[in-house]
């Protein structure tokens, strides 16, 4: 059977490689039999040892891993924080990095997620003439005026993107986003996500929120902007396709309660990264 190839992009440094492996492993676990994954990892100095472990994660699956290099000088002066590093900005360059490929669209997924549904369904979503598909950010839904944007559109979370590469390139989104980061630094709070929203407003398609169930959505911390969103939020909470551990508290660094922490840690324990840690710990006994 000829399998169709779905390109999935993420970005990681060596510290985040174990968490990247959970995203990859859970994605492959739920993938339809007629699909194959080409992972493209924007590589911020992932070690040779970590890359060998990532190869173990995809072994036996219909998947391959490719590594992409970004010109880090483009992002030398960007705003960073305790949980948003320079690596997070690299998705802005993604369409340029894949310019020699023949993909019309790609899925971008952050590292800090659990995938619980077949991403081929996401990939097949028709976003019409829009440049990207994304999920509304519940806590920032109505903040575009902070970015100097006059619109009734909502603000999206950039941790999950379905990108139409051709339209992105035609509209010079990478260049415009980098310019906004440079010229409007005083408006930036949420890093590259702010800049992407300032450039892509009214050019993005609202995906069902189940594809990016952010922590604030899961805990219902914010009022849905409409009755329709209230229904969609409830559906997403009851049946998440991708759980996104947004914010400072991650399953691996926090005791804060999250309903999917234990499931995440169980998956992390199955990765070659965690298994090697366990072997080292046992050898020291």
Q: What is the mean pLDDT of residues 79-106?
A: 73
Q: Can you give the pLDDT at residue 186? A: 84
Q: Can you give the pLDDT at residue 17? A: 96
* Sign for the pseudo-dihedral over CA of 211, 216, 219, 221: negative
pLDDT of 81 strictly over 50: no
Share of the chain above pLDDT 70, in %: 89
pLDDT tens digit string along 110-137? 999 999 999 999 999 999 999 999 999 9
pLDDT tens digit string along 182-240? 888 888 887 789 999 999 999 999 999 999 999 999 999 999 999 999 999 999 999 99
Residue ranges of E strands in 137-276: 156-164, 204-206, 213-214, 242-244
* Sign for the pseudo-dihedral over CA of 49, 54, 57, 58: negative
In the chain, how many domains are there? 1
pLDDT of 282 strictly over 60: no
Q: What is the mean pLDDT of residues 174-185?
A: 87
Q: Which residue has the tokens 């590093």?
A: 85
14: tokens are 């060596």
Residue 165: strand, helix, or coil: helix
Q: Which residue has the tokens 């990207």?
A: 132
Q: By C-alpha distance, which of 85, 118, 64 is closest to 192? A: 85
Angle at 274 between CA 270 and CA 279, to 5 degrees: 110
| Comparison of pLDDT for 44 and 224, the residue scoring more | 224
Q: Can you give the pLDDT at residue 84? A: 42
Q: Give the side-chain half-sphere CA count within 13 A for 251.
A: 23
Question: Domain range for residue 213?
Answer: 4-284
* Average pLDDT over the chain, rounded to an integer: 89
Q: What is the mean pLDDT of residues 175-184?
A: 87
pLDDT of 82 strictly over 90: no
CA separation, residue 81 to residues 74, 78, 168, 199, 230 (Å): 18, 10, 27, 22, 31
Nearest 5°: phi and psi at 115? -95, 125
The winner for highest mean pLDDT among 64-73, 86-95, 156-165 is: 156-165
- The β-bridge relationship of strands 204-206 and 132-136 is parallel
**Residues 6 or more apart whose Cβ sits within 8 Å of residue 206:** 133, 134, 135, 136, 154, 156
| Comparison of pLDDT for 90 and 108, the residue scoring more | 108
DSSP single-letter state for residue 211:
G
Q: What's the CATH code of the domain at 271?
A: 3.90.550.10
Q: Can you give the pLDDT at residue 173? A: 95
pLDDT of 87 strictly over 90: no
Residue 6: strand, helix, or coil: strand
* 88: confidence class by pLDDT, cuts 50, 70, 90: low
Long-range contacts of 57-62 (CB under 8 A, 24+ apart): 57/21, 57/24, 57/25, 57/28, 57/271, 57/272, 58/24, 58/28, 61/28, 61/31, 61/37, 62/3, 62/31, 62/35, 62/36, 62/37
pLDDT of 171 strictly over 60: yes
Least confident range from 43-47, 87-91, 205-209, 256-260: namely 87-91
């Amino acid at each position: 059977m000829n399998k169709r190839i779905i390109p999935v992009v993420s970005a990681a440094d060596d510290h985040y490689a174990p968490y990247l492996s959970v995203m990859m492993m859970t994605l492959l676990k739920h993938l339809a039999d007629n699909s194959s994954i080409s992972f493209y990892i924007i590589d911020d100095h992932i070690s040779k040892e970590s890359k060998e472990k990532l190869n173990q994660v995809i072994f036996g699956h219909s998947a391959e891993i490719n590594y992409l290099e970004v010109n880090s000088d483009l992002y030398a002066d960007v705003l960073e924080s305790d949980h948003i590093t320079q690596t997070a900005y690299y998705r802005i360059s993604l369409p340029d990095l894949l310019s020699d490929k023949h993909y019309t669209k790609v899925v971008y997924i952050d590292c800090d997620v659990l995938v619980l549904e077949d991403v081929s369904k996401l990939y097949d979503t028709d976003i019409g003439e829009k440049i990207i598909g994304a999920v509304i950010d519940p806590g920032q839904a109505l903040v575009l005026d902070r970015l100097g944007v006059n619109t009734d559109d909502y603000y999206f979370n950039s941790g999950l993107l379905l990108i139409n590469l051709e339209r992105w390139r035609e509209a010079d989104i990478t260049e415009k986003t980098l310019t906004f980061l440079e010229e409007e630094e005083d408006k930036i709070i949420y890093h590259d996500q702010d800049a992407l929203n300032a450039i892509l407003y009214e050019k993005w398609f609202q995906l069902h929120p189940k594809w990016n169930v952010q922590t604030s959505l899961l805990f219902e911390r914010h009022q849905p902007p409409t009755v329709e969103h209230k229904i969609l939020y409830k559906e997403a909470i009851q049946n998440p396709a991708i759980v996104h551990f947004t914010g400072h508290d991650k399953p691996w660094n926090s005791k804060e309660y999250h309903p999917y922490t234990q499931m995440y840690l169980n998956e992390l324990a199955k990765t070659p990264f965690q298994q090697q840690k366990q072997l080292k710990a046992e050898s020291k006994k």
